Chains A and B, each alone.
Chain A
């Protein structure tokens, strides 16, 4: 009994601590809401949120609490209910830890920003929305969190409003997320009308769930988690400041779509069509993103595509009906991806705003801590044995290999794994090794503890997180235990092949000159021609058909031509010919008189 009390109290205390700066906003003197205060708030919340996580790890306590019910109609009530199960209790400390590190980094990164308090406020509001999404037990609260993170993403991507590309990118993010929201609202409507509830426990059917609401959920996940088809907003979102990219577009917001599918997986579990769709969509996304990352030259875009690829991998795991494994990948991915972004932020600031990796080089000697952590992050991303990424990624690939599934999805995922290794190694080689290609006196400085502490903390997390989480959380489904040696080492072999490929290619670029343009390079560096093919024609067709139907067809044609004006045109022809007869001259009348007399005479006699 005390366990649940302690659990609920501590989790609510976490939320209350997070909310404190927002409540202090009306009463703020400058000292009570500064960036350091907000950082300290988040750190406190992280420490408190370790309590429910530890309780869960030790005793397996879960709880659902419900406050205040909104009596929408007589038999459709929406309670404000929080679900504290393994997903939310594990996610809270991880999200708060990552956010704490990012906020600490942002106090250095955005130090010259005049509205830094507002920036931190936006980040805090985003965090609150994300935590609401995580802890929601019904679709209503989840929708509130969902829209909240979308909105804060828009505000934060367009933080530097004077920049046209930033505004375009923010608009792109909002539009693509909105298309996904259609799916979410569709499934919410289906739930409300068929199940008469928005609680997620009451939803599963004993028989197969109809495919329509699941398609809606998958569409929502495609929009929010940048799967193929609704993906262009994620690379464009790199226009925002690096802390924004680190928080939103690597660890927390983009996993909201996958999190939705994890929460609703009982609905998905008995519908093989939806599962196969997730699988193939995820495989396609991961390969596409990995292909595009191979030829990018902006360091943040490489990491963005890497995020997109890992999200595809998470979608693949959902398609394998393994939500817990997807959540494990979310957790481990948060650590090393946030760290990669923070390292790239340090590099960018140290080179005075240079983001092109072709103009970096030899940074291993200039920024030792940062580049070492960059290496650790890349190794974790590649799935190096016993770092954080290994525990989730290797398990996913093993489960892929031992399941009864679509071979094409399997092949794509393995290919994407080797590509991951390739582009990570390319980034490492171009950024850290070789001769410096920067201008001669860059302001490299990483002596500030505000930089090194967050990055090293996240590096520690990248190394240990996988081990810790898998040691303390019991899996709900039995992982595959026996398989042939090749299958067991498939992920490592694919990664090694990718590394070998990258090494070969890098020696080639030093010794041989490759042809200037080939179709594969063009495909990869222009992101698969997706943006120009989709953005212009879709909007043009939509607006054209709207104009044709509403304006041309209905207004002009049916109301005018078929009605009054058409009648006018018909009459006008007759009028014009008979006007010449109505001149009022006697001669015409007499002439017609004579003509008619002649006619009568000729017919009579």
Chain B
């Protein structure tokens, strides 16, 4: 595939692996989410340029809006977990009794 495709796929894949295998802090998961969002934004922005179709130019703006909401929600959860559990260590986020 072309260089662009490779870079976008690899960025997205690396970010999702980073999301899946985060170790201690919740904030690193959120950062990886942001990088996933970033790679998707750049890919969506390059798309109308490559295909010479200006009507798809709105899509990255929509995506950005929703990712901002999602980032805000993630940060709110981070703050909430810090308030209740004292830190954002991931082994606190466990509903199991045992």
Please report which residues of chain B, range 42-98, place their CB below 8 angstroms from some CB of chain A when the two chains form the complex: 90-91, 93-96
Measured between alpha carbons, how far is A591 from B95 in the docked complex, in Å? Answer: 19
Measured between alpha carbons, how far is A597 from B95 in the docked complex, in Å? Answer: 26
Q: Which residues of A contact B19 (CB under 8 A)?
A: 590
Q: Which residues of A contact B21 (CB under 8 A)?
A: 587, 590-591, 594
- What 9 pairs across the A-B complex have the smallest Cβ distances? A594-B20, A590-B20, A584-B96, A584-B94, A591-B20, A594-B17, A584-B95, A591-B21, A585-B94
Main SS class of interface, A: helix
A585 with B91: CB separation less than 8 A: yes
Measured between alpha carbons, how far is A591 from B17 in the docked complex, in Å? Answer: 8
Q: Which residues of B contact A583 (CB under 8 A)?
A: 94, 96
Residue A586 CB within 8 A of the other chain: yes
Q: Which residues of B contact A585 (CB under 8 A)?
A: 90-91, 93-94
Known: A591-B21, A593-B20. A586 touches B96 (CB 8 A): no
Residues of A with Cβ closer than 8 Å to B? 583-587, 590-591, 593-594, 597
Q: Which residues of A contact B39 (CB under 8 A)?
A: none
Q: Which residues of A contact B94 (CB under 8 A)?
A: 583-585
Measured between alpha carbons, how far is A593 from B17 in the docked complex, in Å? Answer: 10
Nearest B-chain residue to A582, judged by Cβ:
B96
Residue B16 CB within 8 A of the other chain: yes
Measured between alpha carbons, how far is A294 from B20 in the docked complex, in Å? Answer: 96
Measured between alpha carbons, how far is A586 from B26 in the docked complex, in Å? Answer: 11
Please name 9 further chain A to chain B contacts, defined as beta carbons within 8 Å, in addition to the given A585-B94, A594-B21, sorted by A numbering: A584-B95, A584-B96, A585-B91, A585-B93, A586-B93, A587-B90, A590-B20, A594-B16, A594-B17
Q: Which residues of B contact A584 (CB under 8 A)?
A: 94-96
Measured between alpha carbons, how far is A422 from B19 in the docked complex, in Å? Answer: 106
Measured between alpha carbons, how far is A591 from B20 in the docked complex, in Å? Answer: 5
Measured between alpha carbons, how far is A583 from B17 in the docked complex, in Å? Answer: 20
Q: Which residues of B contact A586 (CB under 8 A)?
A: 90, 93
Measured between alpha carbons, how far is A584 from B94 in the docked complex, in Å? Answer: 6
Measured between alpha carbons, how far is A587 from B24 in the docked complex, in Å? Answer: 10
Q: Which residues of A contact B22 (CB under 8 A)?
A: 587
Nearest B-chain residue to A593, judged by Cβ:
B20
* B98 CB → nearest A CB, Å: 9
Please report which residues of chain B, range 12-43, place their CB below 8 angstroms from some CB of chain A when the two chains form the complex: 16-17, 19-22
Measured between alpha carbons, how far is A191 from B92 in the docked complex, in Å? Answer: 87
**Interchain Cβ contacts under 8 Å between A and B, 6 examples:** A584-B95, A587-B22, A587-B90, A590-B19, A594-B16, A594-B20
Q: Which residues of A contact B20 (CB under 8 A)?
A: 587, 590-591, 593-594
* B5 CB → nearest A CB, Å: 13
Nearest B-chain residue to A594, judged by Cβ:
B20
* A592 CB → nearest B CB, Å: 9
Which of A583, A591, A593, A594 counts the most chain B CB atoms within 10 A?
A: A594
Measured between alpha carbons, how far is A583 from B92 in the docked complex, in Å? Answer: 12
Q: Which residues of A contact B17 (CB under 8 A)?
A: 594
* A581 CB → nearest B CB, Å: 12
* B22 CB → nearest A CB, Å: 7
* B14 CB → nearest A CB, Å: 11
Q: Which residues of A contact B95 (CB under 8 A)?
A: 584
Nearest B-chain residue to A588, judged by Cβ:
B20
Nearest A-chain residue to B9, judged by Cβ:
A601
Q: Which residues of A contact B91 (CB under 8 A)?
A: 585
Nearest A-chain residue to B93, judged by Cβ:
A586
* B6 CB → nearest A CB, Å: 13
* A492 CB → nearest B CB, Å: 97
* B78 CB → nearest A CB, Å: 14
Q: Which residues of B contact A597 (CB under 8 A)?
A: 16
* A92 CB → nearest B CB, Å: 89
Measured between alpha carbons, how far is A281 from B4 in the docked complex, in Å? Answer: 109
Q: Which residues of A contact B16 (CB under 8 A)?
A: 594, 597
Measured between alpha carbons, how far is A594 from B20 in the docked complex, in Å? Answer: 7
* B36 CB → nearest A CB, Å: 12
Nearest B-chain residue to A585, judged by Cβ:
B94
* B15 CB → nearest A CB, Å: 11
Measured between alpha carbons, how far is A587 from B19 in the docked complex, in Å? Answer: 9
Measured between alpha carbons, how far is A287 from B19 in the docked complex, in Å? Answer: 98
* A593 CB → nearest B CB, Å: 6
Measured between alpha carbons, how far is A586 from B20 in the docked complex, in Å? Answer: 9
